[in-house]
């Protein structure tokens, strides 16, 4: 028979199992084994171990590219809160109070991203504090509840609102909105970046949308998930009068990628919390946020509000210049600073263009070569050439991106 000691030794030899087995068995030997394998985790390259190639992100805060990198102080907050227990209701309440103070609003909570906030905020407007309704959601007896939205504001994330069982009612003017509101209406939803992505003006502007909702006593909710910088936007929509606001935590705020902010009216935030983890019989139970990320979100917000945003902007502009200047050493290549006016992804980006009779490669081919090269670099292309978002790069990656783009273009000269 293999002795327990020997077994531990064998298991400890497997990096994946050493820590787990040792921790379960739990004698003096196990303690040693556990400590050593845990410290070994810090030295392991887990990406490498599983053959996952990391990448340089030149496309922005896209979820499929893992969004953003947490600020170092966020990682510290996560680490510093991870080895004690706390009551999760208390953590959410007290962190929420701090966030509400920071954002000059009545109440706030940390959600599982802006998408989680959309579901919980909607649930709150349907159920209030009614326990029976909370338990039954999304299958409430009676007619389906309705959410009013401008027709051109329909978007993929409204799925997170529809999760609650509501029906979307589309309107195209203030008059239509007035007419559409009835006993079944629970909420109005405004997608802040709709006009930017759709290339139109909102047919009902922010103020009018809020005024109509108020007049009929319907809570209004604005999705501004990707709409910082500028940091002032975190305050703007509460000032306009929206009852609920959401921002992603894991985009430009650089909090935990799985966290987000929901804030606004106190009664609605209280109702949203009742629809959330740790209440097991609730629509939000699967949208759990652990205490570490709740704290991490709070620290990310503090840090974001304290940051010198002008200096940050200048640094980003400098990065676009570094990349442009190196590429411009080649014939016909020219770089242009493109400020994305937002409200979503309001960043200084770089457009690189060239004459393909002088540099014989298409933008799509350059994108492909960069993705397949070492290190792997992700950027976008458009009709005019390469479109590069620098804001999610690490400072030391800027020169690498500049060099790789120059190399790929140079091969085609
Ligand atoms: C990114 C985004 C979301 C989802 O945000 P998560 O924090 O990833 O859940 C929702 N709405 C809009 C408009 C977004 O841009």
Ligand 1 contact, 225 CB (< 6 A): yes
Pocket test for ligand 1, best of 154, 191, 223 (most atoms within 8 A of CB): 223
What would the two tokens of residue 309 be?
């945003």
CA–centroid distance, 250 to ligand 1, in Å, is 9
* pLDDT tops 70 at residue 210: yes
Q: What is the pTM of this model?
A: 0.90
Residues of the chain with pLDDT > 90, as a percent, come to 90
For the beta carbon of residue 9, count every other beta carbon within 10 angstroms. Answer: 14
With cut-offs at 50, 70 and 90, classify the pLDDT of residue 393. Answer: very high
Ligand 1 contact, 248 CB (< 6 A): yes
CA–centroid distance, 408 to ligand 1, in Å, is 34
Ligand 1 contact, 197 CB (< 6 A): no
Give the mean model confidence (pLDDT) for residues 211-219.
98
Ligand 1 contact, 113 CB (< 6 A): yes
Q: What atom of ligand 1 comes closest to residue 193's alpha carbon?
A: 13
Ligand 1 contact, 252 CB (< 6 A): no
Amino acid 24: pLDDT: 42
Every domain of the chain with CATH number 3.90.1150.180 lies at 309-410
Query: Mean pLDDT, the chain, as a whole number?
Result: 93
Every domain of the chain with CATH number 3.40.640.10 lies at 86-306
Domain 309-410 classified CATH 3.40.50.300? no
Ligand 1 contact, 235 CB (< 6 A): no
Q: Which residue has 């999304």 as its token pair?
A: 138
Amino acid 266: pLDDT: 98
Amino acid 28: pLDDT: 46
Q: What are phi and psi of 181, to 5 degrees?
A: -75, 130
CA–centroid distance, 114 to ligand 1, in Å, is 5
* pLDDT tops 80 at residue 16: no
Longest dimension (CA), the chain: 82
Query: Domain 86-306's class?
Result: alpha beta
CA–centroid distance, 287 to ligand 1, in Å, is 14
pLDDT digits (tens, 9 = 90+) for 266-302: 999 999 999 999 999 999 999 999 999 999 999 999 9
Ligand 1 contact, 110 CB (< 6 A): no
Residue nearest to atom 14 of ligand 1 (CA): 225
């Amino acid at each position: 028979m293999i002795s327990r000691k020997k077994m531990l030794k064998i298991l400890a030899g497997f990096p994946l199992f050493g820590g787990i087995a040792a921790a379960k068995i739990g004698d003096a030997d196990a303690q040693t084994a556990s400590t050593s394998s845990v410290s070994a985790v810090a030295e392991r390259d887990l990406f490498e171990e599983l053959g996952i190639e990391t990448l340089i992100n030149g496309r922005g805060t896209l979820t499929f590219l893992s969004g953003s990198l947490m600020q170092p102080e966020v990682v510290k907050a996560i680490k510093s809160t991870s080895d004690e227990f706390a009551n999760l209701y208390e953590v959410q309440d007290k962190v929420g109070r701090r966030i509400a103070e920071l954002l000059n609003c009545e109440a706030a909570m940390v959600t599982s991203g802006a998408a989680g906030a959309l579901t919980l905020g909607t649930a709150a407007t349907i159920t209030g504090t009614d326990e029976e309704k909370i338990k039954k959601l999304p299958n409430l007896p009676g007619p389906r509840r309705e959410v009013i939205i401008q027709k051109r504001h329909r978007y993929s994330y409204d799925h997170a609102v529809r999760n609650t069982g509501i029906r979307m009612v589309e309107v195209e003017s203030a008059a239509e909105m007035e007419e559409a509101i009835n006993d079944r209406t629970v909420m109005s939803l405004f997608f802040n970046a709709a006009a930017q992505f759709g290339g139109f003006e909102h047919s009902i502007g922010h103020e009018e949308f809020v005024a109509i909702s108020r007049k009929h006593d319907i809570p209004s909710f604005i999705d501004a998930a990707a709409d910082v910088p500028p940091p002032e936007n975190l305050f703007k929509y509460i000032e306009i009068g929206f009852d609920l606001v959401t921002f992603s935590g894991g985009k430009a705020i650089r909090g935990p990628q799985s966290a987000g902010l929901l804030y606004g009216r106190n009664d609605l935030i209280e109702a949203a919390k009742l629809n959330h983890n740790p209440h097991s019989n609730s629509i939000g139970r699967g949208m759990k946020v652990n205490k570490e990320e709740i704290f991490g979100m709070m620290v990310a917000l503090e840090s974001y509000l304290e940051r010198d945003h002008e200096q940050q902007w200048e640094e980003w502009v400098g990065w676009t210049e570094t990349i442009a200047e190196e590429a411009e050493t080649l014939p016909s290549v020219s770089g242009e600073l493109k400020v994305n006016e937002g409200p979503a992804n309001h960043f200084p980006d770089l457009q690189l263009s060239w004459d393909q009779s002088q540099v014989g490669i298409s933008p799509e081919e350059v994108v492909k070569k960069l993705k397949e090269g070492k290190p792997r670099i992700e950027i976008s292309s458009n009709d005019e050439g390469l479109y590069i978002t620098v804001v999610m790069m690490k400072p030391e990656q800027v020169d690498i991106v500049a060099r790789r783009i120059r190399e790929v273009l140079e091969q085609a000269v």
